Chains A and B, each alone.
Chain A
Amino acid sequence: MTPKTRDDVRPQPPEAGGAHQAAQEPAPVPRARRLIELFLLVIAWVIGIGAMCMVDVELAAELDSRIVMAAASLIVGSLIIHVILHVKARYADPFILPVAVALNGIGLAMIYRIDLTTENGVAPSQTAWTAVAMLACAACVWFLKDHRVLRRITYISLAASILLLLLPLTPGLGTEINGARIWISLGGRTFQPGEVAKITLAVFFAGYLSANRDLILLAGRRIGRIRLPRFRDFAPMFVAWLVSIGVLVLQRDLGSAILFFGLFLAMIYLATNNLTWVVIGLLLVLVGGIFAYTTMSHVTLRIDSWLGAFEPEVYNQEFGGSGQIVQGLFGLASGGLFGRGLGAGRPDLVAFSNSDMIITSIGEELGLLGLGAILMLFLVLVSRGLRAALGTPDAFGKLLGAGLSAVLVLQLFVVVGGVTRLIPLTGLTTPFMSAGGSSLLANWVIVGLLLAISHSARSPRVVGEESPEEGAGGGSAPTPSSLPAADDPGATAAISRLGAGRREESAPSPSSEGGRS
């Protein structure tokens, strides 16, 4: 039986109106709101540069070149993006850019502050990377007038992701740092291609799922309440998943593996609005986790130092002990509610305090209140990304926007959960804050893509389009679960043919084998 003539009908969920509900939400005449962006940008500059000055007031008074350079690159970079938004994407979301600038500024300040008390010298290179990353974001907005062009490179981005993930494994190019082989070094500089791969993977998932989700959902064998997709519909997804997980296990980078798998699950859920996939995925994680714990030494180490962090033998272990986590926790504790003040804590006691553990360094110096504000900023950033996904009219944009937001939030969860001992600590970077150029670059490109998507979401519609269920859904904010999957395909087709007698005899015609164009 072909999928076309199935006759089991599941009723459409009543709240499925989320997609086009967004169309009614913008005020009658959409406003560009670039002015409020500029205003918020000024506050963001004050936050970032103020933080750097407060670290050491005397150094700041002497106009330390590091501060001047950082301030210049923050201000000039964000002004360039702001102006480009004015010209190219007037209706882009006004909150995304200032939040990203503020987070980047605080991160720079923290890295500079840690440079002062340790022999690290990362601040200048981080400043340079900030400038490069902001220019990349600006280029993204400039050239990407319409995010839908990315849909054309669906399969190219799958290939690119595979290539990027395999790069560190090539002998001669790949470099192993701290036990994980995820870097490539070119002319003395290191780069983490996996950071870029998370964007290309999101593009691939969005492109593939927006075109094929009906197939994945509707065609295939049914077992109980779950409908298994046919393998050939699912194969490219499977390849993407297998490569990202397989390569990351080979490269021994647990954090990225969790990130990619989380992205995969989030995208599947967003596209199909079907919780069974998430449940199956989480079960797979559990099985995989137990397997990895028993067979792979570095995973065993991570989990042991998570569960038994305060046991002396784990703490004092020479390599991979829990000293880092516990020192980070002590740092957070000594920060208390209001923090020690910038420049007054001891983040130098924690290993990798400017990259993996930057959250605890911030928590120590700004306290619970400061860290809370920073988490709020991340929340705002992610919610604006989801808002853009809600508002944009095409399925690809919805999936891409929500997927990129999912990347940000997953990464943040893995990092903050890790340093606060909620989940095992894995080496991921905090978006916009950690020292590390590739991560900064990737996150600014994500910002650029979100800005482009939000422009299409908020700009006035040229084509006359009525929003369905007007007034019925009202202003009630749709739940994230119904966001991009809102033009919900969550049921099977119930179509019976009336005048299609000749259809049957022409079933295996060669033209129908043609690939999707």
Chain B
Amino acid sequence: MASELTVTLLRFGFLALLWVFVFVILAAQRRDLGINQILRFNSLPGRGRRGAAQSTASGQQKQAPSAPQRPGQLVIVDGPESGTTIRLGDTPVLLGRAQDCTLTLHDDYCSGHHARLFPQGSRWFLEDLGSTNGTFVHGERLSRATLVEPGTPFSVGRTVMELRA
């Protein structure tokens, strides 16, 4: 038979253990939650490593921040409607064949709602909306939202477009 003292100790020990568990989790999360993250990036050489990894991943991307002005034009370079120029505003653009898209493409290789182009800071990002034939930048099929630099052609169906300043 366990003594009264042991039972009491166990009781409080269990509560303490629960909270220890909580605090261990919180402490382990500290890094992940990004506390002091900016400081570390600016003062430690980790930043260089990160830059190196990035430039190997895609040789075309520049380290220097791109122009503060967001590209303001979308030009269709190739495909059924080549030559069309569209002025971009501050709002996302929906590309596809459906009538309700912001830019309706008369391209049989496009899906109804094919891709969306959305602004973020001074840059435009391209995101595929689960199209059948895919959206390609640099010949690679997009699997996630990707930065589109001005002058880089990207293709939606048979239509090839690029951003211009």
Contact = CB atoms under 8 A, between A and B. Distances in A.
Interface string A459-500: 001111110111110110100000000011101111111111
Interface string B1-45: 110000110111011011111101110110111111110010000
A43 B91 contact: no
Which label, helix, strand, loop or mixed, suits the secondary structure of the A interface?
loop
A12 B61 contact: no
A25 interface: yes
B21 A374 contact: no
A17 interface: yes
Contact of A211 (B19, B37, B129): B129
A376 interface: yes
B139 to A, nearest CB: 12
Determine which residue in A25, A27, A230, A462 has the highest number of CB atoms from chain B within 10 A of its CB, and name it. A27
B117 to A, nearest CB: 10
Contact of B88 (A12, A102, A342, A495): A495
Interface residues of A, number: 101
Contacts of B98: 512, 514, 516
A205 interface: no
Given A54-B14, A342-B11, A516-B113, A466 B61 contact: yes
Contacts of A394: 127, 143-145
Interface of B: 1-2, 7-8, 10-12, 14-15, 17-22, 24-26, 28-29, 31-38, 41, 46-47, 49-50, 53-55, 57-58, 61, 65, 81, 83-94, 96-104, 106, 108, 111-113, 116, 118-123, 125, 127, 129-132, 140, 143-147
Interface of A: 2-4, 9-12, 16-17, 19-20, 25-29, 33, 36, 40, 43-44, 46-47, 50-51, 54, 57-58, 94-95, 98-99, 102, 148, 151-152, 210-212, 214-215, 218-219, 230, 233, 338-339, 341-342, 366-367, 369-370, 373-374, 376-377, 380, 387, 393-396, 461-466, 468-472, 474-475, 477, 487-489, 491-500, 503, 506-507, 509, 511-517
28 contacts: A4-B103, A10-B91, A12-B119, A28-B50, A28-B53, A40-B21, A47-B17, A54-B11, A95-B29, A211-B113, A341-B11, A373-B18, A373-B22, A394-B144, A463-B58, A465-B146, A466-B61, A466-B123, A468-B125, A475-B34, A495-B88, A498-B87, A507-B99, A514-B97, A515-B112, A516-B111, A516-B112, A516-B113
10 A-B pairs closest in CB distance? A494-B89, A464-B58, A464-B57, A516-B112, A475-B34, A373-B18, A475-B37, A393-B144, A517-B132, A28-B46
